[in-house]
Amino acid sequence: MLKKLFYIGIIPLLIASCTTPKNLYIWNNYDQNSYDYLKSLDEESLAKFEATLKELIEGTPRFKRDIKSKVAPGICADYGYFLLKKGNREDAIKMFKQEIVLYPESKLFIDRILKKLEDENS
Amino acid sequence: MKIVKYLYIFISVIILSSCAATNLKSEAYKDLYNEKAVSVLIMPPINKSTHVEAKEYFYSTLNHEIAEDGYYVFPQFLMMDVLKKESAYDSELFVDRDDLSIFKESFGADLILFTTIHDWKKNHIGGKINVDIEYTIKSSKNSNILYHRRGDISVNTSINVSGGGLAGALISIAATAINTSKTKYVNVARATNLYTLESLPKGKYHYNYLKDGSEQVTVKDNQSKTIPLDYKRKQNSF
């Protein structure tokens, strides 16, 4: 009887897990925090959004073959952008370069930013 | 007798016009498959509705959706800054342009996504938020439209209290009204994106990249549809 109940419970669960698409990336509260910052553009919402980006970068295991372990597109570069705005140029450049490592198609765009930073410095 | 005949014709026309066309994905989006596009530049949405914040709801959720469909999406905030500095932040200036090659040359963007919010309405009593939205994806190579959807989407935020007769019904109405006003509109935008961009062929980073052409798709253009706030896509059957 217990076995029967177990199967009744497990089969719909298995079916449900087969029909829900797998996510490629981890997002946590990205949408809401991105919106809150976009709407208010204040220090508080920026701090919250930056923390979300940092969490996504540091909390996502990289260098694994599994595509799901990758940080989502744009996250590293956007985090670099906020670091740059705060004057942390060195770490910002690291983040920009990390974006190219993860997503080579960003190279043309990110190289433009890096070139601009170089020009400003010289 | 003649009236019955006209009635049949009238009903047939209504049924046929309400049916959305079903096609093989590889045929419906032939040009998009041929393009083998990797990167998408999401332009700031054009807001024609009276709800001023609608632009931000969509701008903050679209990159998530397109990235989950397997495309490289440019960093939202860094790109916003660059577009503003280069006087290219106004999507209205580009949406009807015949030449979008500047985005390919400057940023390496293969596709440009334009979004127009035509309307955004709240219905507290019915527990629905109606969004009339249009998505257009254009090639940066030749400005051809590779994907287009316009949908009048109602996102259902209602709460049903089962049982309780009239009292139960009144509680449901009150709970729905409160829920609609408290609903995170970011979730409404997400549900709308999920539904309307559902048949977009998958990009390079998706596990179904170039494998989804044999899927049957329903071309959902100009459709009116009610979807739940937690709308979820079904896994494709291939």
Contacts of residue B52, Cβ cutoff 8 Å, sequence gap at least 6 = none
Average confidence (pLDDT) over B20-47: 91
| Cα–Cα distance, A24 to B191 (Å, whole number) | 18
Which range has highest mean pLDDT (A72-86, B49-63, B122-136, B180-194)?
A: A72-86
Q: How many CB pairs under 8 A join A and B?
A: 101
| Cα–Cα distance, A104 to A52 (Å, whole number) | 24
Closest residue on chain A to B71 (Cα): A73
Domain membership of residue B110 (yes or no) is: yes
Number of domains forming the structure of chain B: 1
Closest residue on chain B to A25 (Cα): B68
- What is chain B's mean pLDDT, rounded? 84
| Cα–Cα distance, B62 to B76 (Å, whole number) | 10
Domain membership of residue B165 (yes or no) is: yes
Contacts of A107 in chain B (CB under 8 A): 108
Domain membership of residue B234 (yes or no) is: no
Residue B230 pLDDT class (50, 70, 90 cuts): confident
Nearest to B32 by CA among B201, B188, B149: B201
In the predicted model, is pLDDT for residue B16 greater than 50? no
ipTM of the complex: 0.82
Selected for mutation to probe chain A from B78, B81, B232 (highest A CB count within 10 Å) is: B78
Domain membership of residue B117 (yes or no) is: yes
The terminus-to-terminus CA distance of chain A in angstroms comes to 78
Residue B5 pLDDT class (50, 70, 90 cuts): low
Average confidence (pLDDT) over B25-39: 94
Domain membership of residue B15 (yes or no) is: no
Q: Confirm if B144 and B171 have CB atoms less than 8 A apart.
A: no
pLDDT at B85: 93
Q: Strand B216-218 vs strand B145-156: parallel, antiparallel, or unpaired?
A: unpaired
Beta carbons of B71 and A22 less than 8 Å apart:
no
| Cα–Cα distance, B88 to B103 (Å, whole number) | 10
More confident call, A27 vs B1: A27
Backbone angles phi, psi at B136, to 5 degrees: -130, 120
Domain membership of residue B55 (yes or no) is: yes
| Domain, as residue range, for B85 | 21-207+219-228
State the pTM of this model.
0.81
pLDDT at B237: 34
Mind listing the pLDDT tens digit for each residue in B56-100? 999 999 999 999 999 999 999 999 999 999 988 999 999 999 999
pLDDT at B163: 57
Q: Confirm if B115 and B129 have CB atoms less than 8 A apart.
A: no
Beta carbons of A21 and B236 less than 8 Å apart:
yes
Contacts of B70 in chain A (CB under 8 A): 24
Domain membership of residue B8 (yes or no) is: no
Average confidence (pLDDT) over B155-182: 61
- Those residues of chain A whose CB sits closer than 8 Å to some CB in chain B are 18-25, 27, 30-32, 34-35, 38-39, 67, 70, 72-78, 80-82, 99, 103, 105-109, 112-113
The secondary structure of chain B as a DSSP string is -HHHHHHHHHHHHHHHHHSPPEEEHHHHTHHHHHHT--EEEEPPPEE-SS-TTHHHHHHHHHHHHHHHTT-EE--HHHHHHHHHHTT---GGGTTT-S--HHHHHHH--SEEEEEEEEEEEEETTTTEEEEEEEEEEEETTT--EEEEEEEEEEEE------S-HHHHHHHHHHHHHHHHHHS-HHHHHHHHHHHHTTTPPP-TTSTTTTT-TTSEEE--TTEEEEEETT--PPPP--
Q: Confirm if B54 and A21 have CB atoms less than 8 A apart.
A: no
Considering chain B, what percentage of its residues have pLDDT values greater than 70? 78
More confident call, B22 vs B135: B135
| Cα–Cα distance, B212 to B45 (Å, whole number) | 28
Check which CATH number belongs to the domain holding B55 and give it.
Answer: 3.40.50.10610
The first and second tokens of residue B23, run together, are 């096609």
Residue ranges of chain A with per-residue pLDDT less than 70: 1-21, 60-69
| Cα–Cα distance, A6 to A52 (Å, whole number) | 39
Domain membership of residue B143 (yes or no) is: yes
| Cα–Cα distance, B52 to B173 (Å, whole number) | 27
pLDDT at B123: 81
